[in-house]
Amino acid sequence: MKVNTFIVGAPKAGTTSLHYYLSNHANVSMSTVKEPNFFSSTEVSSLYYDSKSVDNTKNYHSLYTENKKIMGEASVSYLFYENVPKRIHDYNEDAKVIIMLRDPLERALSHYLMDCRLGFCNLSLEDIISNKEKYPQFFQQFLELGLYNSQLERYLSVFGKDRVKIIFYSDFKTKTAQIMNEITDFLDVEKLDIDFTIQNPFLSPSSTLISYFYKFNWIRKSIKFLLSKKSLELVKRTVFLKKNKPVFSNELKFKIRAFYLADIEKLESLLEVDLSRWKKE
């Protein structure tokens, strides 16, 4: 058995929803752990998320309960790190890769808000951008992960265009059924007939203490393991507040847009697509 389908990122671009949708397919077996980080275990071990990686093949394969036509996983760390495409190719040269891209400004803001919500970051985004040498990991996670061009070049170079499917988050969100049909065609399996509703309201911890404890990965996983789906939803409603997302200044968004402009233009040339929507407010 070998894993043959990899959703490699980008973070905050719909990979969790795609993993869930594919897990409902009769001919697809998705890993029981959404982000095993098997091919990026060395790199993610130094990050502040306290993520536990699967670091040997036996444990990696044990994440699959059934052997089906499509054996897939989704680890968003795979897109950014330089050596991962070759590692995946060395493991399975016939693998297929799905890359989900989101407007890099939107992605940066969403990633920052997530890490603040989880208690990993209590700095302003303005401070992080102005002091990237002081906060290199935050700058990497919020800003550099959105420099897509070189990341896609590596995958296209290693796997070729026929084995890489690129999905834009805006299309995935507004035309989910159509995009899922494209994905099942790409994977050569039957179309899915399920509810493709994406629901992901901005939630904020109701207290500083909850924010502190929620940042520990083992606590979040333990809660999910111990509670039923109904109980989990009750806990979420109790300890999290549904809020309007914080408003970022136009000056900050302009600065981030400028940071990405040259890379977006390179990506337009690489993919032969019009990404003018990513260049303006």
Tens digits of residue pLDDT in 166-221: 999 999 999 999 999 999 999 999 999 888 775 454 454 544 444 444 444 555 55
Residue 260, SS3 per DSSP: helix
pLDDT digits (tens, 9 = 90+) for 1-50: 899 999 999 999 999 999 999 999 999 999 999 999 999 999 999 899 88
Quote the DSSP letter at residue 187: H
9: left (phi over 0), alpha (psi -120 to 50) or beta: left
- pLDDT tens figures, 110-166: 999 999 999 999 999 999 999 999 999 999 999 999 999 999 999 999 999 999 999
Judge whether 230 lies within some domain. Answer: no
The crossing angle, in degrees rounded to 10, of helices 250-271 and 148-159 is: 20
Would you call 59 helix, strand, or coil by DSSP? helix
- Residue whose structure tokens are 């989990």: 232
Q: Are 204 and 240 in contact (CB under 8 A)?
A: yes
CATH number of the domain to which 147 belongs: 3.40.50.300
Percentages helix, strand, coil for the chain (3-state, rounded to 5) are 55, 10, 35
Q: What's the domain range around 105?
A: 5-202+244-278
Tokens of 61: 């394969």
Report how many domains make up the chain.
1
Q: 156-180 in b/e burial notation, b at 16+ Cβ within 10 A?
A: bebbeeebbbbbbbbebbeebeebb
Establish if 172 belongs to a structural domain. yes
Classify residue 116: in a domain, yes or no. yes
Question: Is-contact 106 256, C-beta < 8 A?
Answer: no
Q: Smallest Cα–Cα separation from 64: which of 125, 154, 16, 3? A: 3
**Is 132 domain-assigned?**
yes
Q: What are 66-115's pLDDT values in tens digits? A: 999 999 999 999 999 999 999 999 999 999 999 999 999 999 999 999 99
Q: Is the pLDDT of residue 223 over 90?
A: no
Task: Confirm if 85 and 75 have CB atoms less than 8 A apart.
Answer: no
Within 10 A of 83 (CB to CB), how many other CB atoms are there? 12
Do the domain assignments include residue 226?
no
The DSSP secondary-structure symbol of 145 reads: G
Is 237 within a domain? no
The pLDDT tens digits of the residues spanning 226-252 come to: 666 566 555 555 555 555 567 899 999
Distance from C-alpha of 86 to C-alpha of 60, rounded to nearest angstrom: 18
Asked if residue 186 belongs to a domain, the reply is: yes
The answer to whether the beta carbons of residues 126 and 252 sit under 8 Å apart is yes
Residue 137 lies in a domain: yes
